[in-house]
């Protein structure tokens, strides 16, 4: 199917050439955010990460633990799903996350996972694994900048709530 969106004369404005489905709109939104969220680009605000993570995680029916690996200037090295789980949990292994962080030579990370239940509040298990990951990554001098929980259109930021 051809792309129903065409760039308009004004940058950032698009002309819709035919009726579009919800899936096409979401795909275009993902594409536009991904273009802004490319390797080597600096993350300059929590909102940038939040928008990207909401598009990546909000629609999933099982838990996924996601990491954005950053260099010392907070430029993106890699963004990936590190652990996959079930409808209500994902096992996260600090050793494996530290290993991946060192492979990528990252100096900071943003953590995220989704709650398919639609409730963005962190559980005690969420708080405990966040603390374990912070402690493990501190040993290799890697900062955890935030941990987002994405639950549909709701989200929770550990940093914004003073929990990091």
Identify the bridge partners of residue 113 per DSSP, sorted by sequence position.
Answer: 65, 149
pLDDT at residue 71 in the model? 94
**pLDDT tens digits, residue range 126-145?**
999 999 999 999 999 999 99
pLDDT at 30 over 60: yes
Instruction: Assess whether pLDDT exceeds 90 at residue 20.
Output: no
pLDDT tens column, 93-124: 999 999 999 999 999 999 999 999 889 999 99
Q: Mention the CATH class of domain 43-157.
A: alpha beta
The confidence band for 40, taking pLDDT boundaries of 50, 70 and 90, is low
Distance CA 155, CA 118 (A): 9
Query: Residue ranges of the domains in the chain?
Result: 1-36, 43-157
Distance in angstroms (rounded) separating the CA atoms of residues 109 and 111: 6
């Amino acid at each position: 199917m051809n792309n129903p969106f065409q760039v308009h004369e004004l940058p950032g404005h698009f002309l819709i050439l035919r009726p579009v489905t919800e899936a096409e709109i979401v795909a275009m939104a993902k594409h536009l955010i991904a273009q802004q969220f490319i390797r080597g680009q600096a993350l300059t605000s929590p909102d940038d990460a939040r928008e990207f993570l909401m598009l990546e995680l909000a629609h999933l029916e099982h838990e996924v633990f996601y990491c954005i690996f950053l260099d010392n200037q907070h430029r993106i090295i890699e963004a990936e799903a590190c652990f996959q789980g079930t409808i209500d949990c994902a096992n996260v292994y600090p050793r494996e996350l530290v290993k991946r962080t060192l492979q990528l030579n990252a100096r900071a990370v943003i953590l995220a996972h989704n709650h398919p239940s639609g409730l963005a509040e962190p559980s005690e298990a969420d708080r405990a694994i966040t603390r374990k990951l912070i402690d493990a990554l501190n040993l290799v001098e890697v900062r955890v900048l935030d941990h987002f929980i994405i639950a549909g259109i709701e989200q929770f930021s550990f940093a914004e709530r003073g929990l990091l």
